[in-house]
A and B are shown apart, each in its own frame.
Chain A
Amino acid sequence: MPQQLSSKDLSLFRQLHKYYDSKQYKKGLRNADQILRRNPNHGDTQAMKALILNAMGQTDEAFALAKEALKHDMKSHICWHVYGLLYRSVKNFEEAIKAYKFALRLQPDNGNIQRDLALLQMQMRDYAGYLQSRRAMLQARPGLRQNWTAMAVAHHLSGDLAAAEKVLTTFEETLTKPPPKSDLEHAEAMLYKNTIIAESGDTRRALDHLESIMRNQLDRTAVMEMRAKYLLSLGRMEDAEAAYRELLDRNNEYRAYYEALEKCLSLERSNQEHRERLTALYDEYAKSSERVDAARRIPLDFLEGEEFKTAADPYLRRMLRKGVPSTFANVKALYSDASKKQTIEELVEGYSSELPMNGSAEKQPNGDHSDSFQQAVLFFLAQHYNYYLSRNLPKAMEFTDKALERNPESVDYNMTKARIWKHYGDLQKASETMNHARSLDEKDRYINSKCAKYQLRNHQNEDALKTMSKFTKNDTVGGPLGDLHDMQCLWYITEDGLSYARQGKYGLALKRFKAIYDMFDVWQEDQFDFHSYSIRKGQVRAYVDMVRWEDRLREHPFYARIAIPAAKIYVQLFDKPSLASGLNGPIPDYDKMDASERRKAMKKAKREQEKQEKAEAERREAEKKNAAKKPVGPDGEPKKEDPDPQGKQLLATKEPLGEATKYVEPLLEFAPRNIEGQNVGFEVFIRRKKYLRGLKCLLQTASVDPENPTLHEQTIRLRKSLDSLPEPLSPKVSEVVKSSFTLIPDNVSLSDFNESYISKHAGSAAHIRGGLDARQSLDSNTQKKNEEELIGTLQFSGVDIQDGLDGLALLKSWGADEATVSKYDEAARKRWPEATFFETS
């Protein structure tokens, strides 16, 4: 029951509010305690105290107190509001919304609660609720433009474009005189309205509207681009041409403008006659500026044969004479066309022979780079032969060495050399060379990162961290690694995790992957402040872009890169729970040992683990002593110490498949065309016996690549497990399976189906591997034969090192004996003599 406070306490309570707002928490606490001494059951005071406790970092106490406060006073909007605020602070948005709604029901005209609720609804994408909240806020304060704009955004995002436009127009009509040109908010709102009209598909009206407001717009580029786009899509080619030419005058390096201009002139790149006019067009722009690159480079995309040669020659000469290091990267996109690749190779090889390679005759203005042209040519050829479409590693190495002879101090040349070693498969040399390149310019963070990456590829995790530490803030909690986490350095954490995964240190690998998973969560939450901020700033178009980007945040390749290996590790953990004890590296294969050996090995592993734990505890103890004050993060918030730096708890999970599902679901939702993601998804679902989800993964893969080897093997596995279910599926499910699972024809036996697949793809190592794996799972008696054939795939033309590694992993997954594995390794070593992967096993 709500209690009445005496007037003295009431003023204390008001003070308490002020203290909280001004963040004087200690004073606030004292105040609250004073009130509570006289009124121990006063809910509002308890709630405020809870809020202060939460702000001071005592979240658990805060929740307990807030609950007690609610018990004392269910009808107080303050208690419910505080409850909502607490939930919001721990990111439990759904519960927070419920609490806010209660608070709002008790006090419907409280603006603060209404606003907080609206923000949360937007965050949760509850558009219907958001619309309602926004309407209430607009009614409460119609004089504020923001409220109108926000209402329009609510309509827009929920898909009702007409209503959104109407809201914006209604507000405009109430303006007594046109706002000055400098009114940024007005200008933005007009452009926002224009994009809404355009999105509704009425381009003609959008154009008219745009032309009526153009005069007052401050974002010139946006207006010009929109106008040109509308003109083009309306077919007003002459006007569109003029518009795009104007845009090109502003920025002549933007490909999209050129492409649009071609469309305006209705020129087809594939049409021989048009090509001449296209060339003339680009020539015109190339001549307009000595410095423009785009106009010179783009024609190489569509010219062919002799024409291509005559155009490519001056382009390459120009770039190489200037010594532009990115020349190769700039033209390598052309290599997908084999004849262009050939032409470029001939041209540049020609340059290298036509020039005197020792002591140039012509004097260059910069004396010390007198042979810059030759160097650029050599560097180009080194990259050319290193590129996968034109790979010839010995030649690449030869040219790199020649270039290095002339300029041994060049970071770029050494970097390319490291890359060549990597392609040879010699990670050790690659890492050493990259480190040498780094030592040539220690102030360059780029080469520093490259070096760390190559060290990670070579399993030198500690060296890599040391390398990174040269550029991190090392006084943060957790040292360099802590700083990399704070700064959300995705690439490093990903590579570190992948490196640990390759070494079999699954605890640490999962730890890193989880860190990235959490970073995506952080980005999801980062938008929260902007639901109010962007509207206030009036930057609505950018805000809508952000909302839409957040909606498909996890389609980013970075997510797939960690989600797939993480899910794979969890699947492995499910298959072999004993892996969880192998924290510090690959564990001995317990299955192969006899009982006493196994006991011994396990004991040893346990002892080592204990030893490490002890060392860890000591280190932490020492750290605690050193750090007198509380560690703080980059935003000044106190940072909690990581209780599980080795990822032990992650590894010891009771539900590996549940964890795997968490990683896989966003992947399947946002990147459905990622085959590897679908493959992993299948592995997870078939182990969880969710056959329909597994089937969906298969069908999805089949729609992208029907001949995918993993798909083939998984299809057979699914058919096999469906045929041998211990208890039948529910009739409805089996009906769905029957009608949808048509990847294998009905009247064919699985092994026949598999054999025909193998013979169909006789030349491809990857496909054969899929077929052999399927054969192995159909009949384990065929193992010897399969092993032989697998080793045979190493002789195929076109197999690369990755194929070799995949084959090795497959061989081990069958539990092949040591003799076979070493036979495989030998064959692989013969094929890739420089590679370091096959030496130990």
Chain B
Amino acid sequence: MAEEPQPGNIQEGADDAPADLPTSAEGRKEAAALSSLEQRHDDDDDAAGAGAAARSKNVDTEALGKAMQNLDRGGGVGGAGAGAGAGDRTASSSAGAGAGAAAKKVKVDAADVGLLVDQLELSKVKATELLKAHDGDAVRAMTAFVTAAP
């Protein structure tokens, strides 16, 4: 690998993958079959149940139940940033929650959303998000959009 260094955004090893790809039509069919076979495997309650049973020799079912409960208590139900346990709230999730709380307060003018959708060609959801991020100030939101550098 002593040739020219690759540009930074090229990932190494990307070319290795196709080596074991099936080359013939039959090989390809086989791969497709394997994919769908395993799919069915999962479809089939009996088979999956058997798999679970086989595994459970090594797994303490009681412990699993408890773990599930733990996870539920810590995780809450639904919600994107709510996954972190009560004890170990990470900076990111609390920041997310903070942003979420702030976002709720901002009132957004529907006319502004319309303006952004028209001028910046954003989806309605994205336009609302952008406005909320700038306290509903359309001029600031548009300026930020226009000048945002990568």
Which residues of A are at the interface with B, using a C-beta cutoff of 8 A?
21, 111-112, 115, 127-128, 131-132, 135, 138-139, 141-145, 155, 158-164, 166-167, 170-171, 173-177, 179, 200, 253-255, 293-294, 296-298, 326, 329-330, 332-333, 529, 532-533, 536, 549, 555, 634-636, 661, 672-673, 690-693, 695-696, 699-700, 703, 730, 732-733, 735-736, 739-740
Is A174 in contact with B59, judged by CB distance below 8 angstroms?
yes
One of B28, B80, B88 near A166 (C-beta < 8 A): B88
Nearest Cβ distance between residue A454 and chain B, in whole angstroms?
24
Beta-carbon contacts of B46-64 to A below 8 Å, as 1s and 0s? 0010011101101111011
How many Å lie between the Cα of A171 and that of B32 in the bound state?
Answer: 31
One of B67, B81, B138 near A171 (C-beta < 8 A): B67
Is B71 in contact with A170, judged by CB distance below 8 angstroms?
yes
8 closest cross-chain pairs (CB), A and B: A163-B83, A297-B2, A333-B4, A174-B63, A143-B52, A128-B80, A162-B90, A294-B2
Given A293-B2, A330-B2, A736-B139, verify A163-B93 contact (CB < 8 Å). yes
One of B53, B84, B138 near A732 (C-beta < 8 A): B138
B146 close to A (CB within 8 Å): yes
B43 close to A (CB within 8 Å): yes
One of B11, B71, B146 near A692 (C-beta < 8 A): B146
Residues of A within 8 Å of B68, CB to CB, are 138-139, 142
How many Å lie between the Cα of A683 and that of B63 in the bound state?
Answer: 63
Residues of A within 8 Å of B79, CB to CB, are 128
Residues of B within 8 Å of A161, CB to CB, are 90, 92
Residues of A within 8 Å of B51, CB to CB, are 144
Residues of B within 8 Å of A162, CB to CB, are 84-85, 88-90, 92-93
How many Å lie between the Cα of A161 and that of B39 in the bound state?
Answer: 29
One of A127, A164, A294 near B80 (C-beta < 8 A): A127
Is B63 in contact with A173, judged by CB distance below 8 angstroms?
yes
Q: Which of B1-28 contact A (CB under 8 A)?
A: 1-5, 9, 11, 25, 28
One of B45, B88, B89, B119 near A690 (C-beta < 8 A): B119
With a 10 A CB-CB cut-off, give which of B48, B58, B79 has the most chain A CB atoms: B58
How many Å lie between the Cα of A329 and that of B58 in the bound state?
Answer: 56
The main secondary structure of chain A at its interface with chain B is helix
Residues of A within 8 Å of B70, CB to CB, are 170
Is B93 in contact with A144, judged by CB distance below 8 angstroms?
no
Is A144 in contact with B92, judged by CB distance below 8 angstroms?
no
Is B67 in contact with A254, judged by CB distance below 8 angstroms?
no
Is B35 in contact with A700, judged by CB distance below 8 angstroms?
no
Which residues of B are at the interface with A, using a C-beta cutoff of 8 A?
1-5, 9, 11, 25, 28-29, 32, 35, 38-40, 42-43, 45, 48, 51-53, 55-56, 58-61, 63-65, 67-68, 70-72, 74-75, 77-81, 83-85, 88-90, 92-93, 96, 112, 115, 119-121, 138-139, 142-143, 145-150
Closest to B65 in A: A142
Is A143 in contact with B55, judged by CB distance below 8 angstroms?
yes
Residues of A within 8 Å of B63, CB to CB, are 173-174, 176
How many Å lie between the Cα of A579 and that of B83 in the bound state?
Answer: 57
Is B5 in contact with A135, judged by CB distance below 8 angstroms?
no
One of B9, B53, B83 near A155 (C-beta < 8 A): B83
Is B59 in contact with A143, judged by CB distance below 8 angstroms?
yes
How many Å lie between the Cα of A173 and that of B68 in the bound state?
Answer: 12
Is A255 in contact with B5, judged by CB distance below 8 angstroms?
yes
Provide a sorted-by-A list of 15 A–B residue pairs whose CB atoms are within 8 angstroms: A111-B45, A138-B68, A142-B64, A143-B61, A160-B84, A162-B88, A163-B83, A170-B67, A173-B63, A635-B32, A693-B121, A732-B112, A736-B139, A736-B143, A740-B147
Is A529 in contact with B35, judged by CB distance below 8 angstroms?
yes
How many Å lie between the Cα of A135 and that of B53 in the bound state?
Answer: 21
Given A173-B67, A176-B59, A634-B28, verify A160-B92 contact (CB < 8 Å). yes
Residues of A within 8 Å of B64, CB to CB, are 142-143, 174
Given A173-B63, A692-B142, A693-B121, verify A330-B149 contact (CB < 8 Å). no
Closest to A160 in B: B83
Is A736 in contact with B2, judged by CB distance below 8 angstroms?
no
One of B43, B96, B115 near A730 (C-beta < 8 A): B115
One of B1, B28, B92, B120 near A294 (C-beta < 8 A): B1
Is B55 in contact with A332, judged by CB distance below 8 angstroms?
no
Is B59 in contact with A175, judged by CB distance below 8 angstroms?
yes
Further contacts, 12 of them, CB under 8 A, given A255-B2, A692-B142, A733-B142 = A128-B78, A142-B68, A144-B48, A162-B90, A166-B88, A177-B58, A330-B2, A634-B25, A635-B32, A691-B119, A699-B146, A740-B147
With a 10 A CB-CB cut-off, give which of A131, A155, A635, A736 has the most chain B CB atoms: A736
One of B25, B59, B75, B119 near A733 (C-beta < 8 A): B119
Residues of A within 8 Å of B148, CB to CB, are 696
Nearest Cβ distance between residue B146 and chain A, in whole angstroms?
5
How many Å lie between the Cα of A84 and that of B13 in the bound state?
Answer: 37
How many Å lie between the Cα of A255 and that of B1 in the bound state?
Answer: 6
Given A143-B56, A298-B2, verify A158-B80 contact (CB < 8 Å). yes
Is B149 in contact with A700, judged by CB distance below 8 angstroms?
yes
Is A333 in contact with B5, judged by CB distance below 8 angstroms?
yes
Given A141-B48, A730-B115, A733-B115, verify A533-B35 contact (CB < 8 Å). yes
How many Å lie between the Cα of A636 and that of B65 in the bound state?
Answer: 46
How many Å lie between the Cα of A466 and that of B61 in the bound state?
Answer: 65
